[in-house]
Structure 1
Amino acid sequence: MQTTQHKNTLEFAREQDQNDPLKIYRNQFHIPKDKNGEEQVYLCGNSLGLQPKLVKDYIQQELEDWSNLGVEGHTEAKNPWMPYHEFLTEKMAKIVGAKPSEVVMMNTLSVNLHLMMVSFYQPTSERFKIIIESDAFPSDKYAVESQLKFHGYDPKDALILWKPREGEELCHFEDLEKIMETEGDQVALLLIGSTNYYTGQSFPLKKITELGHRHGAKVGFDLAHGAGNIQPNLHKTGPDFAVWCSYKYLNSGPGSVGGCFVHERHANNKDLKRFTGWWGHNKQTRFNMRHEFDAIPGAEGWQLSNPPILSLAAIRASLAIFEEAGFKNIRAKSVKITNYLEYLLKEIEGDQIEIITPQNPEERGCQLSIKVKNANKALFDKLMAAGVIADWREPNVIRVAPAPLYNSFEDVYKMVERLKALL
């Protein structure tokens, strides 16, 4: 989806940056520099987002309160630690299109994925199969396989893979429909990555949800590459649950706390099986210590432990920037800058590379996956040496993701110019 206004010049790229309403936010992030002190072209926010400059102040506040108050910081800190996770909820809910009661920041992605499957994968002798996309992120596949084995099923029989057609890279929704037509009565759960880590393909979440529910299955999404990148509109889309990490597009730091969505139709269902911990217990009696477990309504009822405040502080700093910029504006720039990257890549002569990500902006986020033909990792290594930080995925894909909050059109132009020189 290109426009005739695009120009393959540095002047055009700089003009776009000058007219970019989000240009002020680049200076609110630390941009890595090379050994000569020059800013690198960082296009790896799909793997680890850059550090917001606000993070240091947010974490320092908690360190000072810990130093000065000790345990009393739970109630007396400038931002009391007891309800600290609640300071993130409303902003995070906007980014994933949910109600605040449906969202909680807790644990990490794979932990949350297991917790959700405890509740929403309830196999029976007739309905026990799980569908994932064939090239799902390995952690998802491992988690699903382990859940199947835990319940006594062989993944060879109980795991169904939604595959691209022969010779293609992308999945077709019609093929998922055919799977459900033949296997639907046995499917207990559809668990799909909202945006595929390898191809960058974003799937039609509402259609998948309606398809699963129509056949009596539960539906969940892994938003690891979706949260902060696309707008999944989780409440309206209607899946039973979703999980995500916060260190990619949400810029919260390596290994930071993940997020979880549970649709409000399950908010008060205390009969749902779940693994429990004290932080999911009724806030009014949590510290009485003598009560039977009483789940908090909504997503908070799936919490296990009191959260790591220093990690949440980093997320809170990033979410403050998202709130100020407005996710609608972020997504608009994402479409624009990724379209420009696509245009520039297609301007490269020859057939050495191919974009395998969908062309339709509605079917992708900001990541483009570049398939290098007849190549090993050598081209990627040279690109990194040329000051372009991207990432490589076996067997032959370079992933580049211009994150709209801190990447510029000039970044995109420079990346393609350096790639051309290497080719």
Structure 2
Amino acid sequence: MPSTFAGSGETIPPLSSRDEDHAARAGLRDLSELATLVATGRASSKTDLARLTGLSRTTVSKRLDVLIRRGLLSTRLGDSTGGRPAVELGIDPAAGVVAAVDVGAAHCRVGVLDLGVRLLADAYVDFTPDDGPEPVMAGILACLEDLLTGLGRRWSDMRAICIGIPGQVDAETAQPIRPVMLPGWEGVKPQETFSRVCDAPVLVDNDANLMALGEYRARAEPVDQMVFVKVGSGLGCGIISNGTVHRGADGISGELAHVRLRGTDYEDLLCGGCGNSGCLGAVVNGPAIAARLRADGLRAETKWDAIRLAQQGEPRALRAVREAGERIGEVLAAMVCFHNPELIVIGGAFAILQDDLLAGIRSVVYERALAQATRRIRIETTTRNADLGMLGAGCLAVERALSPAGLVTWL
């Protein structure tokens, strides 16, 4: 029996016919592409959509009629320039929301965003690494409940949830893999927690991947090839290739923290993440930098102490930050030759020390990488550090909500 998008009058033929099935799926892909272009702000009119998709204006009009009647898109008259005002497209505020959760080592930020990736409300959930996943997930759930209530929303309005964690994530199962900073989170399934209250899909990704996506989407100029490096309590890396996050075959692409450094100073330094010695992530992280400063006679119990000392101009702290940049530069130099990015962005807590950290990174990258690979490359710190994880998680959640798979259960 044929099926119909509710309220649209557009019929999907029976799946028994291969050609008709292909046409129906193509229509669903069109709906997803059009909705995503409007949601991300890349298109606001039929003309924009026809130009960006290559679809005819007639097809665009038919697809938009489905999306508008189903309450996903809305229209309004734009400002007149002397002639007939143009019709502008946008996401209908009542179409639903997504949730973004940015989990750190001692707290997580929880946010509710609309389908245009605009933050509507957020709050923090504090915890200790020893708490384990159950109370943390319960706290996230309760926090989201409060945020939704405050916005006058219900769980039925939730279209997708995305959680970013500091550690590797299995691409197939969406479960954490030996997250050093989150003891007990190995194999945790956040989907089970949220399935108690809603049917929205739950995505789990590495926090550096989400920060890279957030940086990419927030930039005014297009950047197709970008590497994002997070330097904080740990070391993470996200890769943007042709405008999308590159995760590799198993979801662990960009794990530069486990690239081994050469040199006798690091050969016996054990990596808590993989058990090998001399890994970059064991040498360059907040606790390791603080430990080196303590060995130099300074009071530095945490990464924040190390950052404060460097900001105050303490020579030993500045030297430690520059050396950390040089070690990162050693690995990035190889990545530059291999991936050939046009932009490297440094984020995380230590990004505030941009002058000294960037000096160390740039000196090694420009010295060791192939000249042709560094001809156009820029190396800079982010200007949106605090919001990148939330923005990236929101983008990924909206992308899932507006995907063909997301729309088929919605429309």
Place the TM-score, normalised by the shorter chain, in its bin: under 0.3
Query: TM-score by structure 1 length?
Result: 0.23
Which one has the bigger strand percentage? 2
Query: TM-score by structure 2 length?
Result: 0.23
Larger Rg over CA atoms: 2
Q: Greater relative contact order: 1 or 2 (C-alpha under 8 angstroms, separation 6 or more)?
A: 1
